[in-house]
């Protein structure tokens, strides 16, 4: 499925509630957890940040009984709001692991206005300088704490950047980590503030354009034929 422009600024919890309401309206026999506060067994592959679109965005659901994927699609699609598009459904066994433990790489594309006060001609040199580093310690400040992290091990492929007219474009991939990952907005800000990239640190739009299991040789999606999660 995908989260489009219409829902760019919908947060993760609101996105989850939107899907839950669509599932209820569809009549799909969704499974619920047990206990005093049962909830639907439905989950996205990750919590997208506010302002981030995604194509693809993976969702896993557990049903109370066997249901053909084609029937799930036929019932659910009419209930989805504008901005959510269902592309494909795949049935997997209950012995398969969860998506969140399978996927380990996200690909992002960002763009924003060029800062006219910076030297555009140095763009390739500056991004090459960042790509060549073995380590870069970034201090991330949140309302709860200040945390230092080395962002370079989280970046899987060398970053690519281009300038077209008055717009700057950046493409990169980030590794997922159980201990927390750097956010795309942090990367955009780091490059602007520490490597003189020609864009405004807080002016951008961001899209997740790929999500994979990467074993160092090839990338596998949850819909690959040889999936093993």
Who wins on pLDDT, 227 or 32?
Answer: 32
Of all residues in the chain, what percent carry a pLDDT higher than 70? 97
Asked if 211 and 103 touch (Cβ cutoff 8 Å), the reply is: yes
Residue that is last in its domain, among 91, 110, 132: 91
Residue 156 sits in the same domain as residue 124: yes
* pLDDT tens-place string over residues 106-148: 999 999 999 887 888 899 999 999 999 999 999 887 778 888 8
Asked if 173 and 69 touch (Cβ cutoff 8 Å), the reply is: no
The answer to whether position 11 is within a domain reads yes
Q: What is the DSSP letter of 164?
A: E
Report the C-alpha gap between 77 and 85 in whole angstroms: 8
Report the C-alpha gap between 104 and 176 in whole angstroms: 5
Report the C-alpha gap between 133 and 136 in whole angstroms: 7
**pTM of the predicted structure, to 2 decimals:** 0.91
Residue that is last in its domain, among 32, 58, 91: 91
The answer to whether position 220 is within a domain reads no
Question: In this model, does residue 229 exceed pLDDT 90?
Answer: no
Q: Which domain holds residue 126?
A: 102-214
Residue 16 sits in the same domain as residue 118: no
Residue that is last in its domain, among 65, 91, 117: 91
Report the C-alpha gap between 149 and 164 in whole angstroms: 32
Asked if 198 and 204 touch (Cβ cutoff 8 Å), the reply is: no
Residue 79 sits in the same domain as residue 113: no
């Amino acid at each position: 499925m995908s989260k489009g422009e219409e829902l760019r600024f919908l947060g993760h919890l609101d996105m989850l509630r939107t899907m839950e309401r669509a599932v209820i309206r569809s009549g799909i026999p969704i499974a619920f957890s047990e206990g005093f506060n049962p909830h639907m067994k439905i989950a996205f592959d990750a919590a997208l940040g506010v302002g981030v679109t995604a194509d693809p965005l993976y969702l896993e659901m557990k049903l109370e009984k066997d249901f053909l994927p084609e029937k799930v699609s036929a019932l659910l699609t009419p209930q989805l709001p504008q901005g959510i598009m269902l592309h494909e459904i795949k049935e997997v066994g209950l012995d398969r692991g969860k998506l969140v433990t399978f996927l380990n790489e996200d690909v992002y594309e960002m763009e924003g206005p060029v800062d006219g006060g910076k030297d555009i001609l140095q763009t390739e040199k500056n991004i090459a300088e960042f790509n060549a580093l073995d380590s870069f310690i970034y201090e991330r400040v949140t309302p709860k704490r200040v945390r230092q992290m080395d962002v370079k091990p989280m970046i899987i492929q060398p970053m690519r950047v281009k300038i077209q007219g008055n717009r700057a474009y950046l493409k990169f991939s980030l590794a997922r980590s159980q201990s927390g990952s750097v956010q795309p907005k942090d990367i955009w800000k780091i490059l602007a503030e520490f490597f003189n990239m020609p864009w405004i640190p807080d002016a951008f739009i961001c899209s997740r354009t790929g999500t994979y299991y990467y074993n160092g040789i090839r990338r596998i999606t949850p819909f690959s034929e040889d999936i093993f999660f």
